[in-house]
Structure 1
């Protein structure tokens, strides 16, 4: 499977199954899909098959003859250029970095039957919040239920549950989430301290993370976070007018002026590492690349600004007609990103992170975040859900931290969800990068985790194209 596209002056060819990326000239770019079609018509597949490995270039004279029949090619290029391009494509094919077979599909049965362990928990430490963010999927921190703060007892039981169900895995992830976690800060500290007490006994290493709106952040809390937590996520949407419109306090006042100096202090105190400023763009700021630029100008080096996921009837939700504009914004952002890198003022944009050499293991490529089987969400009273975005939907209660998993059928359903269980992924070039997308988004929009979220897919494909282009540009 081939994906060929143009971006920022580069002709890029991605071999989806191998992950190989090629920057090519115009004639190779124009021929790459044609050659794939011709090979597939003759051999049933464009990939190298038995009996073809040793074929000489002369054996493929028929292919050159077929291409020469195409006036749209011969009118643009000389016979010598066409011949050279065909030979180059065949050499890449023989090297098995172009037109490769899908080697993962045969692995999927083994993958589905793998023994899984739980390696991460998202602790909803506070079903309460002191902001009234207009797009909040958590219903102002309540998660469509009652306001509550997690107790020390529940938090400790959650860590015990994680240790018990983590098998031989040593590194365990625990995210403090909300609502606003700092509204339950004393319990956060007690849970962390308990984790440090038990990790050596069980040969585990807890990696704690916290997500905060920053309004309650102070020097004492920051000192503790820097000592005990591997990462901190700081919520800010970008420009003051954008942020304050979507993330006001209970009384309607903006929160931008209060949090920016605090967030800048966090970034510097962590030497511009192990944090993210994380924003959300909506129909209200389709020019979101300006918000990323604004955050970069404030001095932040670790930035993530992501599309809102909302009901179609919500005034701030993304519309079908917004997608072309948003794709243009990603292209603009990619150019800005490269400019800053060349100036020596670069920053890291989360959605442009891509590893073309190593990348995630096969399991991650096929199944993504592991929600519902390797990663679970925990409510303040200890109920277990596939992830924090399912909290409040009682059909997805999997058990609780005291009794363990009582609905293994839910876990099994999520375990078997992957890029091959989603029909829409079959012909999508991005499938091994997004791993099928977010199960919660798929369920919320389609009632089925084995589907895809349309807007999410469209924007993900554009981000991946931009990320690969950036890699090509930076390799020059």
Structure 2
């Protein structure tokens, strides 16, 4: 499968199955397009004879054939035949999303967690439940050494003492069981203080700082319950926190909605505030919501991604570069085959834990009782749910078959598929369209990076 496109002056050809990327001239771009239509060399000569010289066409066809022979163009899909073996693979639990607090001190308009309640009741996870969750993870992680625990909410800082105790317990268990815990934290910043920052910088491998961008955007979408905005309170704290992280990871993470389709301005605003690790993602919501993205918004959103990518090239040359999560792509290594085929591992390797210890496939399924898999004391009882998620991959989704981005998005989010179609083996089409655009921009940025390196 071949995907050709033009972006920012580059003619780019992606060989989907091998992952090879080629930046080519107009002649090669046109020939590859005709080859993809099934044309033979003599037909290509006839079709292009009025545009290019015959010798140039012949030389280009020879070079293209050499790429084909080298397994870098028009390659076969070697993964499809392995899919049955892939579905039967052994899996262990390697990550938990601990819902440390089903409560929040903000009332974000787009929150899928309903201000932290998740279709249920407000609650705080006790130390005993959290401790049992870590014991469950250790017991079900097999020989895997590296484990991840995400402190999530609601707002985790509303239950900070339990977070600290669980980190301490986890560090004790590492030595006893030859494990290594990678703890992460997501926060809205309202309760951040120096003590929390110091602890997080010591113990949290990554922190996610929830901020939507410009003051007017952030305050409209992320207000306190009485309506006041939270921007002025959290921004200084987040700036201090990000700066104090040193070499440790963090993300300033936002959401854009129909109210700020010019979201590139929000990304750049965050960069101007000093954040160099940024993720601003499209809202996923029922189309009836006034802030939900609509199909008619897609051209504008794609235009913004192009605008952002070009500005990132410019800023990098000026020494003001930053990373944008959705444009980060590894063309030389990247995730393993399993990740490329099945994504995040929800329902199999990654589970969410409620404050009272119930297990769900991921945080977005919490509260959907049909996806209740078990609990941290008795383990996973609904192995049928686990199998359903294990069988969920790019080849199980009809709409993924002819999509050039399938090995980058791994078939997309199962929760989005379920929320829009009632089944995890479908896709959220609008999200797919935006994903394809992001992949195109990400590859273009790599092309620009390579061109600059060659120039230098």
Class of the TM-score when normalised by the shorter of the 2 chains: over 0.9
State the partner residue of 1:12. 12
* RMSD (Å) for aligned C-alpha atoms: 0.8
| 41, 45, 49: which one aligns with 1:64 | 41
State the partner residue of 2:454. none
Tell whether 2:282 aligns with 1:321. Answer: no
For normalisation by structure 1, the TM-score amounts to: 0.94
How far off is 1:273 after superposition? Answer: 4.1
Q: What does residue range 100-179 of structure 1 map to in structure 2 within 5 Å?
A: 100-179=75-154
Q: Number of aligned pairs?
A: 451
> For the Cα contact (< 8 Å) 2:201–2:248, is it kept in 1?
no
Partner deviation per Cα, 1:8-35 (whole Å, 9 max, x = no partner): 0000000000000000000110110211
> For the Cα contact (< 8 Å) 1:273–1:302, is it kept in 2?
no
Structure 2 stretches lacking a partner, 5+ long: 452-456
How far off is 1:418 after superposition? Answer: 0.4
CA distance in 1, matches of 2:49, 2:129: 71
Q: What does residue range 237-252 of structure 1 map to in structure 2 within 5 Å?
A: 237-252=212-227
How far off is 1:64 after superposition? Answer: 2.5
Moved over 2 A (4+): 36-39
CA distance in 1, matches of 2:377, 2:194: 35
State the partner residue of 2:23. 23
How far off is 1:68 after superposition? Answer: 2.2
CA distance in 1, matches of 2:312, 2:436: 18
Partner SS for 1:168 = coil
Q: What does residue range 25-424 of structure 1 map to in structure 2 within 5 Å?
A: 25-38=25-38, 63-70=40-47, 73-271=48-246, 273-424=248-399
CA distance in 2, matches of 1:222, 1:267: 9
CA distance in 2, matches of 1:272, 1:281: 28
> For the Cα contact (< 8 Å) 1:272–1:301, is it kept in 2?
no
How far off is 1:67 after superposition? Answer: 1.2
How far off is 1:160 after superposition? Answer: 0.3
Structure 1 stretches lacking a partner, 5+ long: 40-62
CA distance in 1, matches of 2:82, 2:21: 23
> For the Cα contact (< 8 Å) 2:103–2:153, is it kept in 1?
yes
How far off is 1:272 after superposition? Answer: 6.2
CA distance in 1, matches of 2:194, 2:162: 18
CA distance in 2, matches of 1:406, 1:272: 41
> For the Cα contact (< 8 Å) 1:267–1:273, is it kept in 2?
no
> For the Cα contact (< 8 Å) 1:272–1:300, is it kept in 2?
no
CA distance in 2, matches of 1:463, 1:342: 21
